Chain A
Amino acid sequence: MSTTTQPENSVRAEFLRGIWESLPFLLVVAPFGLLFGVVATEAGLNLVETMAMTFLVIAGAAQFTAIALMEENAPTVIVVLTALAVNLRMALYSASMAPHLGKAPIWQRALVAYMLVDQSYAASAARYEEAPTLSTTEKASYFFGFVTLIIPIWYASTYLGAVAGAAIPPEYALDFAVPITFIALVAPLLRSLPHLVAAVTSVVLTLALLWVPFSLGLIIAACVAMPAGALTEYWLEKRK
């Protein structure tokens, strides 16, 4: 550990920044958790089962997918594999976090992995790109700050949804809170040409591949969009 107080201050500052920057996302996570609690209860899960799923999986989209397939009496293997395919993007997130947090202690990396959801991933990736000189400890601290409120609120809102049980009126259009967050996370990145190329590739290919089963179209599209962005960046650099 360092003898000066400076690094500790900056670690603390990153933690607080993480909490601060997570605040707008609470608006989205809470209704999404509430909705999952309601949907799971209506599908016949009891409180313990609903909460166990939320604690162990923490991945809204995959949880909704699994519940929907179980309601259709799909075989267990199909339920698990389809929901995991929905979560395949998490492996990409993990790879993307590895250069930044790979040197953190193993227990910290395990905790980060457990809480690596779309929002915490995208916010941290943006922060690390904005401040590349941050140390591993500072980067980890930002991540932990960001999830400090998000994750407990995800648990709590699921619980409320499961207990309150009443369906949320569809005119609140809560279904659309999540797409808006994803757009808000990515839009600020789109002002560089390589990022724009990657984003357009991702959209066009995903839409063209909607027929591919198990949501694998998204993964294929992402695996093309990444090199599309990286190569555009490479060519732009070479032209200079």
Chain B
Amino acid sequence: MSLSPDLWIVIALLGLGTFSLRFSFLGLVGDREIPSWALRLLRYVPVAVMPGLVAPLVLFPAATGGEPDAARLGAAFAALIIGALSRNTLGSIVAGLATLYLLLWLL
């Protein structure tokens, strides 16, 4: 099986486009001062993007054909609670993976 003959065009445009998105503000801002309201907004980028990115993956995982799955829900919950309580990223990953495999094995 082969993909469309435009594969290399896709690779090139995707590479170029992705770099442009990543370089956009970093490249243009340079030495300029950023207004304080913008700084305040930008501090919320991680919590504004990642929870939204993750929510559909947790609720409707592709691996189960989009059906909610107890093991994955439990793992996400464990990672969230341990991460929030301990403020420790590694602890959160370990708790999430341990819960995932435990529940997959039990259920």
Contacts and interface: CB of A to CB of B under 8 A. Distances in A.
B22 A94 contact: yes
Interface string B84-100: 10111110111011001
Interface in A78-110: 79-80, 83-84, 87-99, 101-103, 106, 109-110
B26 interface: yes
A153 interface: no
Given A184-B79, A222-B49, A206 B41 contact: no
A214 interface: no
A88 B21 contact: yes
Contacts of A67: 3
Contacts of A70: 3-4, 7, 10
Given A98-B29, A218-B49, A56 B15 contact: yes
9 contacts: A57-B11, A62-B14, A80-B17, A84-B14, A92-B45, A96-B46, A173-B101, A185-B50, A201-B48
Contacts, number: 291
B75 to A, nearest CB: 6
Interface in A18-52: 21, 24, 27-28, 43-45, 49, 52
For the complex of A and B, 3 pairs with smallest distance between CB atoms: A187-B83, A56-B15, A206-B52
A110 B23 contact: yes
A22 B11 CA distance: 28
Given A176-B63, A180-B79, A94 B47 contact: no
Interface in B17-73: 17-19, 21-27, 29-32, 34, 37, 39-59, 61-63, 71-72
Contacts of A123: 89
Nearest to B82: A187
Interface string A172-209: 01011111111111111111001100111111011100
Contact of A102 (B13, B30, B55, B82): B30
A179 B4 CA distance: 30
Contact of B93 (A28, A186, A194): A28
Given A57-B15, A225-B47, 19 more contacts: A44-B1, A44-B2, A52-B11, A56-B15, A58-B18, A175-B62, A176-B63, A176-B100, A183-B83, A184-B96, A185-B46, A187-B79, A187-B83, A198-B44, A200-B51, A202-B50, A203-B51, A226-B44, A230-B41
Nearest to B72: A176
Nearest to A187: B83
B18 A87 contact: yes
A145 interface: no
Given A102-B31, A173-B63, A226 B15 contact: no
